[in-house]
Amino acid sequence: MKIAAVRGFRDILPEESALWQVLESHARTSFAAYGFSEIIVPVLEKTELFARAIGETTDIVEKEMYTFIDRDESSLTLRPEGTASVIRAYIEHSLNHKEPVSKLFYIGPMFRRERPQKGRYRQFHQIGAEILGRDDPLIDAELLLMLNDLFQALQLDVSVDVNSLGCSECRPRFRESLRAFGESKLAQLCENCHNRLHRNPLRILDCKEPGCRQATVDAPVITDFLCDLCRQHFAKVQGYLQQENIAITVNPRLVRGLDYYCRTSFEIIAHGLGSQNAVCGGGRYDGLVEQLGGPAVPGIGFAIGVERLVMLLQAQERYLSNAPDVFIAPLGEAAEGRAFSLARRMRQEGYRVELEGGGRGLKAQMRRADKLNARHVLILGENELNAGKGTVRDMQTKTDRPMAVDLTLPAPAMINVIRNVND
């Protein structure tokens, strides 16, 4: 009997992994420009870390974690998110003594036992970043700016929802007001929201049930409850973004699934993904480092869902091409030897080169070049070898330029000639 992968866990095949590389390399470039360094943390942590960081009453901790008892009786969990581990490492290695501000990013798999569907898996991947050590609005704006740069570089059309969740001073008043409001609408709220009202009333704003959405249309909004400091902080974040012409939508209903957020919180929504359309979520978590036994250091971060972004990239034709820059078709043994070193020289310069040969005839090689969507083929037959010049075939126009390329040219110059011949 065949053995299939575990439900919600998937293989990423070469066609898709090529797009992961596109995403990852753009992310690394943006992160480097803003001064972030990579941190690589384990996928397995003590269960207690997530219970304390994410919050006992969140969906993740209550029912979605992959937790098991190890042979020494300790309870371990496959990480459902990255922030808790980064902070654990930050505290464990006293990174705050090394630098006043730590800008860290991570890339890797996360595990949540959710109901799998398109864009939602039990093993999925996140690219995340955290800034620890600064709580001024400039930092929040900078993080959003970096995300904006990244999405722009990927040419993806997204909208950014931003809210302020207040602080420990002002949020309790909002929570109580929301709870009272919910109590007055009990009959219209779903069972889940009845529970939420007692444990974490903010989450009723996040419920997807149409009845609950309807019932909470007139719910109190956090923006009316913010204390002066939170209000000023939020206004400044918006001011910096306006200054740079970054479009955001202030969405007072935005709350997040994890308990640790305060002040600036945000979500990035993509168009064309169906119901699982959030591609990035994040926000400020000023008390969290202390709560996990570390120094009183503020923090802010985000996590991007790799699978969902890759789905967006897949929908774009320009990312689909894995066509070689040049396809080399040698005819005969001597030509194959020459093609072998030509291909190497070009590849060393970073060009994608397909080399056929293997004693195959011109026709068979052209069929293969077509299949790979090669635009240009460099043909090396006996005449070409004698002249030291290759023939270029433009596969789109099906025309040849006999002896067009001097085979002694440096690789980049050769590629230029090959590409320009019939363009």
Closest CA relative to residue 326, chosen from 348, 302, 309, 351: 351
326-330 and 299-305 beta bridge pairing? unpaired
**Does 259 sit near ligand AMP (CB under 6 A)?**
no
Stretch near ligand AMP under the rule CB under 6 A, chosen from 275-283, 329-337, 345-353, 385-393: 275-283
Alpha-carbon distance of 99 to 101, in angstroms, equals: 5
> Which residues lie below 8 Å from residue 362, measured CB to CB, with a gap of 6+?
329, 331, 379, 381
Q: How far is the CB of 305 from ligand AMP (least distance, A)?
A: 2
d(CA 354, CA 123): 34
Nearest Cα to Cα of residue 171 among 96, 223, 108: 223
Question: Sign (positive/negative) of CA torsion 380, 383, 386, 390?
Answer: negative
Rounded to the nearest 10°, the torsion over CA 58, 9, 269, 218 is: -30
- The residue range among 116-124, 136-144, 169-177, 402-410 that interacts with ligand AMP, by the rule CB under 6 A, is 116-124
For residues 376 and 420, give the distance between their C-alpha atoms in angstroms, rounded to a whole number: 10
**Choice from 36, 105, 124, 327 touching ligand AMP (CB under 6 A):** 124
Q: Given candidates 52, 79, 112, 203, which one binds ligand AMP under the rule CB under 6 A?
A: 112
Piece in contact with ligand AMP (CB under 6 A), picked from 114-122, 224-232, 322-330, 384-392: 114-122
Size of the site for ligand AMP (CB under 6 A): 17
Q: Does 337 bind ligand AMP (CB under 6 A)?
A: no
Q: Assess 257 for contact with ligand AMP (CB under 6 A).
A: yes
Q: How many CA atoms lie within 13 A of 362 on its CB side?
A: 11
Please give the residues from 297 up to 326 whose contact with ligand AMP meets the rule CB under 6 A: 303, 305, 307-308
Task: State yes or no: residue 113 binds ligand AMP (CB under 6 A).
Answer: no
Q: Footprint of ligand AMP on residues 394-423 (CB under 6 A)? A: none
Taking residues 65 to 104 in sequence order and writing x for each that binds ligand AMP by CB under 6 A, - otherwise, the string is ----------------x-----------------------
Rule CB under 6 A: say whether 278 interacts with ligand AMP.
yes
Alpha carbon 421 to its chain's center: 39
Minimum gap (Å) between residue 148 Cβ and ligand AMP: 16
Q: Which range of residues in 27-35, 86-94, 121-129, 384-392 is near ligand AMP by CB under 6 A?
A: 121-129
Q: Say if residues 273 and 119 touch (Cβ distance below 8 Å).
A: yes
Q: Which two tokens stand for residue 286?
A: 């000023």
Q: Tell whether residue 130 is a contact of ligand AMP (CB under 6 A).
A: no
Q: Which residue has the tokens 């996990």?
A: 292
Selected from 120, 173, 179, 352, the binder of ligand AMP by CB under 6 A is: 120
Q: What angle do CA 314, 320, 322 make, to 5 degrees?
A: 145
The answer to whether 114 contacts ligand AMP (rule: CB under 6 A) is yes
Stated length of the chain: 423
Q: Which residues would be at the binding site for ligand AMP (CB under 6 A)?
A: 81, 112, 114, 119-121, 124, 126, 257, 278-281, 303, 305, 307-308
